[in-house]
Amino acid sequence: MFKKILIANRGEIACRVIRTAKRMGIKTVAVYSDADARAPHVRMADEAVHLGPPPASESYLKAELIIDACKATGAEAVHPGYGFLSERESFAKALAKEKIAFIGPPPKAIAAMGDKIESKKLAQKAGVNVVPGYLGDIATTDEAVKIAKDIGYPVMMKASAGGGGKGMRLAWSEKDVREGFEATKREGLSSFGDDRVFIEKFIEQPRHIEIQVLGDQHGNILYLGERECSIQRRHQKVVEEAPSPFVTPEMRKAMGEQAVALARAVGYYSAGTVELIVSGADTTGKSFYFLEMNTRLQVEHPVTEEVTGLDLVEQMIRVAAGEKLELSQDDVELNGWSVENRVYAEDPYRHFLPSTGRLIRYRPSPEKRDGIVVRVDDGVFEGGEVSMFYDPMIAKLVTWAPTREAAIDAQVAALDAFEIDGIGHNVDFLSALMQNPRFREGNITTNFIAEEYPEGFEGAPADSQLIVDLVAIAAMIETTREARAGQISDQLHSPIEPPRDHSVKVGGEVHRVHIEPFEGGTMASVDGGAPVEIFGSWTPGQRLLGLTIGGRQRTVRVARNGRKWELTTRGAKHKVQVLDPHVAELSVHMIEKVPPDLSRLLLAPMPGLVTRLDVKTGDKVEPGQTVAIMEAMKMENILRAPKAATVKATPVKAGESVAVDQVIVEFE
């Protein structure tokens, strides 16, 4: 077994590998860029080596620096994590040349599966189902249009060397192909150094299901069940679960055997994933097709670990050290259900725009007992920074329970207790997904988010019981605040007793609440209804409030927003105003503040780089016309004209970095 390994990665996956290595008694070496000098993975490792500036191209992607770090520290092997150099054949070969073990598959398997076009040809030879499409080189947009017509719309354009949801465009018409083909080529070139694009039929009502494979260097290859990864946004996975609610034992066996056949055809060993597109419309389960093989550890590997009881990182290390797998296919059993949510630095209330900055507060959900597992894999810390240079993922929240429903419920409870301040995040959105009736039924496709939230996300809908509970909680909080204010010293009179009656405004409606404190709690009556007991108390300044109201467990994040309370729970922020009844009667006469008109301005929706500006002063634009292109968080974003107008000014030029809400174009 290795005595020391180097982790050629950063963030949560570096921390994840280090934890397993330490448990195995293996010393670890971390590498870091200037942006990650204080990162958790650097502190966790036994040693750390500085690589270079923040851009990955000048640090984490420089294979020679990784090899130099191995030589300097005596590391015998390298675990690449995912992303960066994990699927670079040249990196695995360079390590082998220096007699440093690569904790991953052999270079020839990486090469065979790394090219999406060639991998599909290999899959066909191995007897694996493949999606109809054109796998040759496509030189021009006109050629792409002809091929798309021959296949039949809709089609998917993909960068041949792409991965992680990047370099992909869905086209429903010739217009989409003409607009998206060149963008796909650019993304492929900038992200992967390869601008080749292939086109394949887009499967409608598609489900994204993947098979985890594990092999050793002695010819043993197993499949460890499947993961359902259909909940995606912009082709990036958001929610994963194992097993899939759609897959039957017969489907699992057929998919698994094809995945093993493909792995065997390329001499695969280590952990890997065969991704499949499955037609949800075919209840027989026979319509599944090969998409690609990821020759590395997947982001979503924890759900497989939770249902199989295996540590995939440990297995990868043991396989790289030449050990045989200690289990056979018959030993693989799936126990219970596991769900993973990816907590991203993005603002779902602003169309999921990336968010960067300092984590002023970061308190992930605590572990839960009583037969439920809550696991948080992260690589950030309170006071640290979410940088524009890397992936926007903050953490992976993983739950396990005996049933799917219980695992989902555990996610909702854990998300309620997840505290993040300082940057935008998608915790509310994830909670809304977990509560969505269609998701809970398992009726999901890769179009789920677009279909369920066509106008964007505005928070999870609250049922009437939740509104009543929030009204009572807000009145209790306000009573506590007023009681505290009444105890301020040096007042002329005796302490002022807070009022027991309140008018509470929430969601455009006003509710009357009567409060009666008692030892250990509060009795609250809303709109003349029967009193309910609230067990638990709030202290001024307390951010996370856990209590029982009417026998129901509630976890609420509490914040003061001007004269209102902001109560966040169950996937939504609720602005609540608590007033004395006589003040509420007079408040209807207050003039509403009208927000400024921003329709004449095209604002930067996120911090990033303006890579292209397509208009100049005096140009006339039509609604939906491309005005500028921005790059942020390694993704290209098209900014369009909101209406027909004439360009008055362009304060920003191509090549300039901009802050969020900075004016890019002003219209007359």
Question: Which helix (DSSP H) or strand (DSSP E) does residue 609 occupy?
Answer: strand 608-613
506 closest CA partner among 492, 527, 489, 522: 527
Q: How many CB atoms lie within 10 A of CB 260?
A: 21
Cis peptide before 154 (omega within 30 of 0): yes
Q: Which residue is it, tokens 């007033």?
A: 579
Q: How far is CA 152 from CA 236, 290, 294, 516, in A?
A: 25, 19, 28, 68
Check if the beta carbon of residue 512 is closer than 8 Å to that of residue 581: yes
Check if the beta carbon of residue 575 is closer than 8 Å to that of residue 508: no
First to last CA, the chain: 69
The torsion of the CA quartet 249, 255, 261, 264, rounded to 10 degrees, works out to -90
Active site residue: 187, 275, 292, 636, which one?
A: 292
Asked if 204 is an active-site residue, the reply is no
Alpha-helical segments (H) within 296-436: 301-308, 312-320, 404-416, 427-435
Check if the beta carbon of residue 4 is closer than 8 Å to that of residue 76: yes
202 closest CA partner among 272, 131, 257, 147: 131
Kindly report the CA angle at 430 between 429 and 431, in degrees rounded to 5? 90
To the nearest 10 degrees (0 to 180), the angle between helices 249-265 and 116-125 is: 110
Check if the beta carbon of residue 345 is closer than 8 Å to that of residue 355: yes
Q: Which residues are catalytic?
A: 292
